[in-house]
Structure 1
Amino acid sequence: MAAPILDHALRVLHLEDSPLDHELTLAHLRRGGLEVQALRIDSESAFLAALEQEWDVVLSDFNLPGFSGLVALDLLKASGLDVPFILVSGEIGEDTAVEAMRNGASDYLLKNNLARLVPALMHAVEATETRHARERADRELGKSKQRLRELAQHLQTSIEQERAAIAREIHDDVGGSLTALKFDLAWIARHTTDEGVRLRVNSALETVTLAIESSKRIMHNLRPAILEQGLVAALQWIASRFEKRTGIACELRLPTQTPEWPAGVPLVAYRTAQEALTNITKHAQASRVQIDLSLAGGVMSLEISDNGRGLSQQDLAKARSFGIRGLHERAGTVGGWVDLSSGPAGTTLILSVPLNPIGDTSPAPAHPLREPEDPSQWGTL
């Protein structure tokens, strides 16, 4: 059997009170092709002092003056070091050997049968090295996942910032220009006496009005200005729009009082509701939707449920189900999480965000859906 792959000589800590047995053990190791650096000790104090150094394996006699191999094994475990431990004894009962293996010993050998020493030691060292490599890989994978989550959250934040900037430009530049053009066309329509010109102007007014409506719709999708009035107003607005657009009954339940939301939470909650309602419109075939915003135990919960056909496991496992993945990443930007459950009775999506609400958080009766004033209006003629 080949020697274990190490970039250094095998470092062996040997608990042995017999110098002759120590030399015999080293002879077996060298005869097996191992390059060894060994230290022999025979007391508990020396063992504890030696554990401050690095070792590849611990070989221990079972009986030592005022000390034992099982005590040494317990001390090794208590130190937190992950070093293979092999008992090598002149006499060890089967029960003792089983107890040692149960407590974490890698193997046990009899001194009159050291032919198995090298294979047992190599197996123990290689198993430990493999475990260490797996732990390192798991740590690196964890770091990689954390970096990926941070990147996804950064992208979500960057996207929202860009959306807000574009929405402001549409409101300030495009909206302002279209509104001014509409006023000019209306002035021409009032002051012209040519019927042909009046017809053309009225047609242009209709086109400009449609452009204004389209611009407002795009602006709302990018960054709903209704959020400036608060999360409650935004949920009322989106639920009202959803019900009017789809004809699906939408019940909205809100707490009697709401706290000052932490930065970013209203937008995350709004986007979650928006994505959920969009999916319901496209796939659920539902006739009823309920939106519940609640505060309990320092956690805000936004629940959107429907009575539609539900989602199958295949739907949830789709490789390109980026909408659901995006909700998880978006929730993570404010320290929250998303739970999704689905069955024949419908689908429920819950956004949970830890915070410290103040005031009464008992749920209020079902809110009548009404469309709040939209602060992004450019004015009408």
Structure 2
Amino acid sequence: MHVMAPPRALRILHLEDSLTDYELAALTLRRAGIVQALVRVDTLEDFRDLTSQGTFDLILADYWLRSFTALDAWATLQELPHRPPFVLLSGAIGETAAVDAVRLGIADYLLKDDLVRLPIVIARTLEMEDARKAKEKAASELALSQQRLAELTEHLQTSIEKERAAIAREIHDDIGGSLAAIRFDVSWIARNTQDTETAAHARSALDMLQHAIGASQRIQMDLRPPILEQGLVAAVEWLARSFERRTGISTQLRGGMQHPMLDGDIRLVAYRTAQEALTNVSKYAQAQHVYIDFSDSGGLLTLEVTDDGVGMDAAQRHKPGSFGLRGLQERARTVGGWLDVSSRLGEGTSLTLCVPLDLHPSLPSKEE
């Protein structure tokens, strides 16, 4: 069988106490066309010194040496951050011992009686090593990509919240103020006009203005509820009462919090999670009851929103274009938490946010 030479010059460390066996291995590799430097050592100290320099592409090792075994040499390699592939080349190793060595992480083994296959074993070992390194590189690049995506998501969420806060302020200061001033003037007209038709139009305009003022206040609260500054429980309670009035769906808050004034980022993530969950209930669940449970016991914040609606299957949760739940999952990650969704058709849906509070140690004391 023809063996192609490896695409690079190989530097091989040969752990061997027999000069004859070393020379046979060197001859075999030269005949196979493998350009290499084969360095022999026969003591554990020399082996440790040379491998610590990190200059070898591969290690060949006899199993039994004078005062130690190849497994002792393998153990010393575990201290290195980058280990070259390790191949046993021995005349005194049983099948069971060889298999056990491979299970430890040794790349391959070959009997000295079958030395002609050494170039094949080395080529195969290097191919596997290249594949392993490529896999590690791909995993590292994927992890880096995921980290960058998480950082981008956090940046976008922060930017969105800042923009929401700015819009809420503009609605309050400009639109809200203008509507209040117009309402004052129209109310004056309604009180002072002697024309019944004009008075009727003024009262109708007042009703519309009151509706617009209420809508602007609701939009402000949705964008950035000031009540969040009073704590998570107060904010979600307001959200639940508003949801119940708007939809007619019975909404109950249960459980308790030892630290209602959590870190601001956690409060915001929990609030947005509850807000999105209630929005989904109103759109899709066809529910009669919703339950919101709080807990921060055991150093873990848990917020669970459960409904008794129609539920959904896995395909609905992951359908293309469905970004609500994915957005909540990314939000949860920004504070070191996670999101779990449990649902079955006809049995309702439960959405649970969990955030380890030990990642945010600067918790204020319990509110009086």
Deviation of 1:17 (Å):
2.5
Asked if residue 253 in structure 1 is aligned to residue 292 in structure 2, the reply is: no
- List alignment gaps of at least 5 residues for structure 1: 361-381
Closer/same/farther in 2, CA of residues 210 and 299 from structure 1, 3 Å limit: same
Q: CA contact under 8 A between 2:230 and 2:261: conserved in structure 1?
A: no
Please give the per-residue CA displacement for 1:132-189, whole angstroms capped at 9, x wherever unaligned.
1101110110111011011111111110111011001100111011111111222233
Structure 1 CA distance for aligned equivalents of residues 217 and 267 of structure 2: 20
Q: Partner of 2:314 in structure 1? A: 313
Deviation of 1:41 (Å):
0.8
Q: Taking structure 2 as the reference length, what is the TM-score of the superposition?
A: 0.89
Q: Partner of 2:45 in structure 1? A: 45
Asked if residue 25 in structure 1 is aligned to residue 25 in structure 2, the reply is: yes
Identity %: 51
Q: CA contact under 8 A between 1:232 and 1:254: conserved in structure 2?
A: no
Q: Partner of 1:4 in structure 2? A: 6
Q: Partner of 2:348 in structure 1? A: 346
Deviation of 1:42 (Å):
0.9
Q: CA contact under 8 A between 1:4 and 1:126: conserved in structure 2?
A: no
* Letter paired with 1:40: R
Q: Partner of 1:192 in structure 2? A: 193
Q: Partner of 2:138 in structure 1? A: 137
RMSD over aligned Cα atoms: 2.3
* Letter paired with 2:33: G
Q: CA contact under 8 A between 1:14 and 1:59: conserved in structure 2?
A: yes
Between 1:289-298 and 1:22-31, the stretch displaced more is 22-31
Structure 1 CA distance for aligned equivalents of residues 254 and 36 of structure 2: 73
Q: Partner of 1:118 in structure 2? A: 119
Please give the per-residue CA displacement for 1:252-283, whole angstroms capped at 9, x wherever unaligned.
12427544211222222221111111111111
Q: CA contact under 8 A between 1:82 and 1:128: conserved in structure 2?
A: no
Structural mapping, 1:1-381, within 5 Å? 1-6=3-8, 9-54=9-54, 55-77=56-78, 79=80, 81-255=82-256, 258-343=259-344, 344-355=346-357
Deviation of 1:342 (Å):
1.0
For the residue of structure 1 that corresponds to 2:296, the secondary structure is: strand
For the residue of structure 1 that corresponds to 2:303, the secondary structure is: strand
* Letter paired with 1:33: G
Deviation of 1:223 (Å):
1.3
Q: CA contact under 8 A between 1:178 and 1:208: conserved in structure 2?
A: yes
* Letter paired with 1:261: L
Q: Partner of 1:369 in structure 2? A: none
Structure 2 CA distance for aligned equivalents of residues 132 and 206 of structure 1: 71
Q: CA contact under 8 A between 1:272 and 1:351: conserved in structure 2?
A: yes
Closer/same/farther in 2, CA of residues 314 and 75 from structure 1, 3 Å limit: same
Between 1:184-193 and 1:164-173, the stretch displaced more is 184-193
Closer/same/farther in 2, CA of residues 42 and 269 from structure 1, 3 Å limit: same
Structure 2 CA distance for aligned equivalents of residues 181 and 258 of structure 1: 43
For the residue of structure 2 that corresponds to 1:143, the secondary structure is: helix
For the residue of structure 1 that corresponds to 2:343, the secondary structure is: strand
* Letter paired with 1:98: V
Structure 1 CA distance for aligned equivalents of residues 118 and 83 of structure 2: 20
* Letter paired with 1:328: Q
Between 1:145-154 and 1:226-235, the stretch displaced more is 226-235
For the residue of structure 2 that corresponds to 1:297, the secondary structure is: helix
Deviation of 1:358 (Å):
5.0
Deviation of 1:296 (Å):
0.7
Closer/same/farther in 2, CA of residues 234 and 63 from structure 1, 3 Å limit: closer
Between 1:183-192 and 1:26-35, the stretch displaced more is 183-192
Q: CA contact under 8 A between 1:295 and 1:357: conserved in structure 2?
A: no
Structure 2 CA distance for aligned equivalents of residues 42 and 161 of structure 1: 67
Deviation of 1:93 (Å):
3.5
Q: Which has the higher contact order (CA 8 A, sep 6+)?
A: 1
Q: Partner of 2:360 in structure 1? A: none
What is the count of residue pairs matched by the alignment?
Answer: 359
